[in-house]
Amino acid sequence: MFPGQGSQSVGMGRKLANRYPVAQQTFEEADAALGFKLCHLCWEGPEDKLRLTEITQPAILTVSVAAFRVLREHGIVPTIVAGHSLGEYSAHVAAGTLEFGDAVRAVHLRGRYMQEAVPVGEGAMAAVLGMPINQLQQICDESAQDGVCQPANINSPDQIVISGSKSAVERAAELAKQRGARKAIMLPVSAPFHSALMKPAQDRLAPDLQALKLRKMSVPVVTNVDAEVVSDPEKARDALIRQVCGAVQWERSMRVLIERGISRFIEVGPGKVLCGLMRQIDRSKTCLNVEDETSLQKVA
Q: What structural domains does the chain harbor?
A: 14-117+196-299 (3.40.366.10), 123-186 (3.30.70.250)
Q: What is the pLDDT of residue 91?
A: 98
Check if the beta carbon of residue 155 is closer than 8 Å to that of residue 250.
yes
Does 44 have pLDDT greater than 90? yes
For residue 120, pLDDT beyond 90 = no
* Alpha-carbon gap, residue 251 to 159, rounded angstroms: 10
In the chain, the amino acid numbered 185 is I
Instruction: Look at residues 12, 163, 172, 169 and name the one whose alpha carbon lies nearest to residue 85.
Output: 163
Mean pLDDT of 182-201: 95
Q: What is the mean pLDDT of residues 267-278?
A: 97
Q: Which residue numbers are catalytic?
A: 85, 194
Q: What pLDDT score does 300 carry? A: 80
Burial class from Cβ neighbours inside 10 Å (0-12, 13-18, 19+) for residue 128 reads buried
Q: What is the pLDDT of residue 47?
A: 93
Question: Among positive and negative, which fits the CA dihedral 206, 26, 271, 252?
Answer: positive
Percentage of the chain exceeding pLDDT 90 = 96
pLDDT at residue 24 in the model:
98
Torsion angle of C-alpha atoms 163, 221, 107, 99, degrees rounded to 10: 180
Tens-place pLDDT, residues 122-150: 999 999 999 999 999 999 999 999 999 99
pTM of the model: 0.97
Would the pLDDT of 189 be above 90?
Answer: no
